[in-house]
Amino acid sequence: MERLVSKEEIRQAVSEARRERKRIAFVPTMGALHEGHLTLVRAARERADFIVVSVFVNPTQFGPGEDFEAYPRVIERDMDLLGAEGVDVLFNPAPEIMYAADARVTVDPGPLGSVLEGATRPGHFVGVCTVVTKLFSIVLPDLAFFGEKDFQQLAIVRMLVRDLDLPVKVVGCPTSREDDGLARSSRNVYLSADERAAAPVLHRAMTAASCLVAAGERNARALADVMRAEIAAQPLAALDYAEVVDAATLEPLETLGTASARALVAVRIGATRLIDNLALEVR
């Protein structure tokens, strides 16, 4: 596996692969890789011939007081994991490579970027959309793979590709979970032992809502209330939001019906903020 740090190098590598008529898949990450990231790499390998993974901790998607400086950076370990998965190229640029000192242009996702995660983290999705647009423009992949764990991000990236006519197909992959239901996340390393034991409350809350749906409940407010009650029962958990939304638009639902529904939760466990989501299927 090659580790490339400049835009010129990655463009040349992808260009050579394309001349060989290879299908290009791209997995953007911020590093500190775990099994969830590796499932994306494996999904990419099943559908493409040339796999590019980026490791770039993007400063523009972190707000004041967030964990940009503390975000785990373990590039040697990441390289070992990616090499073992047969990745062709690692793109690992520095911030000064990705952003000119006088960069001014950003990509705004519109209203969808200001709700849920966007309400708690103003400007976050402008940073996400800007860096994703830049990475797509640099790598020019045929396919790009994102995890459903960051469900709002996935919805916004799909909208970005559609609205800006970017020539890439976005592939969403199911959330990878630990045995107790906790969604795998690079930020899980921040949790103390007691906090780690408390963290599966997110999945329990969503599962409780899913069980109510299976029993016939269709009132979205009732489903959100049961999630909030489950989280409130965990002393180490501080709720940010627990919502039931339309899976396509992320608009709040009143009643579950023909539209696909999604439970979305955000909870702070100690100093660590965790998010998760689950499909609520009406049968």
- Residues annotated as part of the active site: 37
Query: Is the separation of the CB atoms in 224 and 76 below 8 Å?
Result: no
Give the C-alpha separation, 185 to 32, whole Å.
9
Say how far residue 82 (Cα) sits from the centre of its chain: 18
Give the C-alpha separation, 250 to 52, whole Å.
30
**Distances in whole angstroms, Cα of residue 115 to Cα of each of 99, 250, 278:** 27, 9, 18
**Distances in whole angstroms, Cα of residue 73 to Cα of each of 77, 189, 280:** 9, 12, 35
Query: What element of type H or E holds 97?
Result: helix 95-98
Q: Which residues contact 275 (CB under 8 A, 6 or more apart)?
A: 117, 149, 150, 183, 202, 264, 265, 266, 267
Q: What DSSP designation does 208 have?
A: H
Side-chain half-sphere CA neighbours of 160 within 13 A: 27
